[in-house]
Amino acid sequence: MKRNYLMMAMAAAMLASCAQTGLVEEIAEEPQKAIGFSTFVDKATRAENSEEEYSQEMNIHHNVFSVWGFKNTSTTAAVFAGVNVEYVAASTNGDGSTIPAHWKYDELRYWDKAATDYYFYACAPITAPFIFTGTQDNGKFTIGTTGSEYEVDALNISPKNSEEAQTSWKEKTEKDLMIAAPCHLNGTSLSNAYASKVGLNFIHILSRLNIVINKYVNSSTSILVKNITIGNMKYKGTFDEETGVADNTIGTNSRWTKTTDKKDYSYDIDYSVHRTQNNYVIEALIMPQTTKTEEVKLDGTGDMDEAYIRINYSLTSGSTTEYFTACYNLAKVFGIESGELEFNEGWQNTLTISLSPAAIVFTANTAPWDDKVTKELPIK
């Protein structure tokens, strides 16, 4: 009897050993894998784009974003609920090996092989007033609520290309509001995400107005652009990701509900036009909107109800300095004679200014003498 107990105990130990060994080997072959992220930024589109080099690396625009993620198992709680994901630059280990640049977040989440659908939503910057709403398979972002509209402060510029921008401008950079296109993973796309990372494609939801000043090489006259004003621009409104837009398409301004409030953005730049190359002087992030054509006189008189641009500049020749002002309807300077100029989400419109002053020159002649009476006087 005792021997039978001993045999049974040995058999149980052997079974336990086999089961434990098999489990360890299975985990070693297919370990749980943490969810990781890769990012991409859609390039701004518009026929008036400059020849700029555009970076599609998200970390150039924002180095932190917030993410929401869901899976379709019996537990529908969010896998990510506004988790901040931060960019970490490449570094070197103590052994000299390289740790590649990557996006990281605290408290790793792992793929659930029992889930057949995952949904991810993301936004940046994390300091912007984004509100995540909707269900796990139909999430969306809104900005602002009734009575508390979001205000775009275009006094600040996008610093990407402004080589000559003053330091004070760079310190006041406007928030470049971005959301990722909804990312639904299943089937092959989910398998690819297991093997690599969740690819998030971010898009700009503000518009941008660039102003470039062409170089001027006449050494006898110094030109200094003192101020550029972009006037009558709408700047307040609320954003709803799905309002009036099918399938979350971009290139529209209908997702923004604008108020009728307008303001002038004034840039004191003291910018010398004598340069070795053409330069960006303003890259203003603005509320998506449209503006119409209207008659505006150079001195700034007229209806002035739609967006306009005013340029104040000075010319110095020798010891003499003169000051000038020129005002234009913004839609007309973009070649629209009737209709509307669009500033849509993810669009940038670029205006290039050329200052080629014509000096005041003189010609002179004299009026002929008119013959009235001719008389001979003989003297004897």
Give the residue from 263, 243, 268 showing the smallest Cα distance to 253.
Answer: 243
| Dihedral, CA of residue 20, residue 26, residue 27 and residue 29, to nearest 10 | 150
User: Is the model more confident about 217 or about 255?
Assistant: 255
**How far is Cα 314 from Cα 324, in angstroms, rounded to an integer?**
6
84 to 63, 68, 135, 181, 283: CA distances (angstroms): 10, 9, 20, 17, 28
Are residues 342 and 253 in contact, defined by beta-carbon separation less than 8 angstroms? yes
Domain count, the chain: 1
Question: Using 50, 70 and 90 to split pLDDT, how confident is the model at 2?
Answer: very low
Residue 286 has pLDDT above 70, yes or no: yes
> Any residues with CB less than 8 A from the CB of 167 and at least 6 apart, and which?
none
* Between residues 121 and 365, the one the model is more confident about: 121
- Dump pLDDT digits (tens) for 315-324: 888 888 889 9
Name the residue range of residue 302's domain: 32-353
167: in domain: yes
Q: Which residue has the higher pLDDT, 278 or 211?
A: 211
The predicted structure's pLDDT at residue 22:
38
Mean pLDDT throughout 18-30? 40
CA distance 298 to 281: 22
70 assigned to some structural domain: yes
Q: Which residue has the tokens 């509900």?
A: 257
Phi, psi of 355 (to 5 degrees): -105, 115
Do residues 279 and 52 touch, judged by C-beta distance below 8 A? no
Percent with pLDDT over 90 in the chain: 31
Structural domain contains residue 18: no
For residues 203 and 288, the answer to whether their CB atoms sit within 8 Å is no
Whether residue 21 is contained in a domain is answered as: no
- Compute the residue count for the chain: 380
Higher pLDDT, 325 or 97: 325
pLDDT, greater one: 61 or 3? 61
Identify whether 6 is part of a domain. Answer: no
- Tell me, what's the pLDDT at 13? 43
d(CA 73, CA 84): 24
The predicted pLDDT at position 285 comes to 87
Query: Is 85 domain-assigned?
Result: yes
- For residue range 78-123, list pLDDT tens digits in order: 899 999 999 998 888 888 888 888 999 999 999 998 899 999 999 9
Average pLDDT over residues 126-143: 86
Q: What is the pLDDT of residue 329?
A: 92
Q: Is residue 60 part of a domain?
A: yes
- Structural tokens at position 186: 């299943």
- Are 116 and 134 in contact by the 8 Å Cβ rule? The answer is no
3-state secondary structure of 246: helix
The reported pLDDT for the residue numbered 191 is 92
Please indicate, yes or no, if residue 3 is contained in any of the structural domains. Answer: no
Which pLDDT belongs to residue 40?
Answer: 78
Rounded average pLDDT over 256-261: 92
pLDDT category, 231, cuts 50, 70, 90? very high
